[in-house]
């Protein structure tokens, strides 16, 4: 009797363990092979970008309609507008994407037209350089496999960073001259 109860108990728990393992494998397969979020159509072009620093988002628009939003990393000192070179802040204001750099130290880079005349004037009044080379870019070249270590952290010198997959899509859908508004 005692042996029969133990055997019954072991069979029941073995089944439970098998079901639990199958569930874990199913979840792992879903996480690894889940469909990516819908990308933008191949020939699609946007006409505006809005970055909301407080929300850590970059949103793309066409004809006034928000089409997609991406999570971003900002300068290592994200509060406040960029005041001078080296302050690790992301600028705030209305700029344009004025050129692109496929040979950047980061995976693709869209140049933001910072500093504008007002940025230069403010910095000069303080006797400092406003800084330059603000980009929307991917991860540092060679660090794509460590993408997880960059998530949820503000790590740039003032730029706006996306994943490599996201910057590839943004690169494709953003023509030069598109306005980019960077909000606090």
**pLDDT tens-digit profile of 74-129?**
999 999 999 999 999 999 999 999 999 999 999 999 999 999 999 999 999 999 99
pLDDT at residue 30, as a whole number: 40
pLDDT at residue 43, as a whole number: 74
Same domain, 55 and 27: no
In three-state secondary structure terms, 97 is strand
The verdict on residue 143 lying in a domain is yes
Measured CA to CA, the distance from residue 7 to residue 107 in angstroms comes to: 59
Average pLDDT over residues 53-63: 97
Domain that holds residue 11: 1-34
The verdict on residue 156 lying in a domain is yes
In three-state secondary structure terms, 6 is helix
Same domain, 80 and 170: yes
pLDDT in tens, 137-168: 999 998 655 655 567 799 999 999 999 999 99
Measured CA to CA, the distance from residue 121 to residue 128 in angstroms comes to: 10
Please, are residues 83 and 90 in contact by the beta-carbon 8 Å criterion? no
Please, are residues 106 and 138 in contact by the beta-carbon 8 Å criterion? yes
Same domain, 133 and 62: yes
96 DSSP assignment: E
Tell me: pLDDT of 173 over 60: yes
Please, are residues 90 and 78 in contact by the beta-carbon 8 Å criterion? yes
């Amino acid at each position: 009797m005692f042996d029969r109860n133990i055997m019954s108990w072991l069979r029941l728990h073995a089944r439970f363990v098998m079901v639990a393992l199958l569930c874990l494998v199913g979840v792992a397969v879903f996480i690894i092979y889940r469909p990516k979020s819908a990308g933008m159509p191949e020939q699609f072009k946007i006409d505006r970008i809005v970055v909301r620093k407080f929300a850590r988002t970059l949103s793309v628009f066409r004809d006034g309609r928000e089409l997609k939003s991406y999570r971003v990393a900002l300068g290592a000192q994200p509060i406040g507008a960029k005041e001078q070179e080296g302050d690790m802040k992301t600028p705030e204001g209305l700029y344009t994407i004025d050129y692109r750099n496929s040979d950047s130290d980061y995976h693709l880079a869209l140049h933001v037209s910072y500093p504008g005349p007002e940025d230069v004037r403010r910095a000069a009044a303080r006797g400092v350089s406003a800084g330059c080379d603000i980009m929307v870019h991917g991860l540092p070249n060679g660090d794509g496999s460590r993408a997880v270590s960059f998530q949820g952290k503000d790590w740039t010198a003032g730029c706006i960073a996306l994943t490599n997959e996201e910057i590839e899509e943004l690169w494709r859908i953003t023509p030069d001259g598109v306005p980019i508004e960077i909000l606090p």
